[in-house]
Amino acid sequence: MNLRAMKEEVKLFSTPIAAIVEVAIAPSHSGRVKCMGTYWPARLYHNDCNLTLEPNQKVQVVGIANITLLVVR
């Protein structure tokens, strides 16, 4: 089975959750955030924006795709 052909399951949260960027996140590069006391892989929810989130920046987690959190500024 081709893993790229598998559809990514995205779950959006009804209420955003606060997090802090640990490793920079950019449209073409996933990073890491600290959320609820745990470190998670993270990527931008809107990959078409021209935004880079830097370490120590506060973000909002709006959903999850597999084990990767989806964040916005």
pTM for this prediction: 0.87
What's the confidence (pLDDT) of residue 3?
A: 52
Distance CA 12, CA 24 (A): 22
Q: What is the mean pLDDT of each run of 10 residues along the chain (73 residues)?
A: 64 98 96 98 90 97 97 95
Termini Cα distance of the chain: 36
pLDDT value for 8:
81
- Residue 46: name the closest of 28, 19, 23, 67 by CA: 28
pLDDT at 48: 80
pLDDT at 5: 45
Backbone angles phi, psi at 51, to 5 degrees: -125, 140
**Considering only CA atoms, which of 5, 4, 6, 8 is closest in space to residue 67?**
8
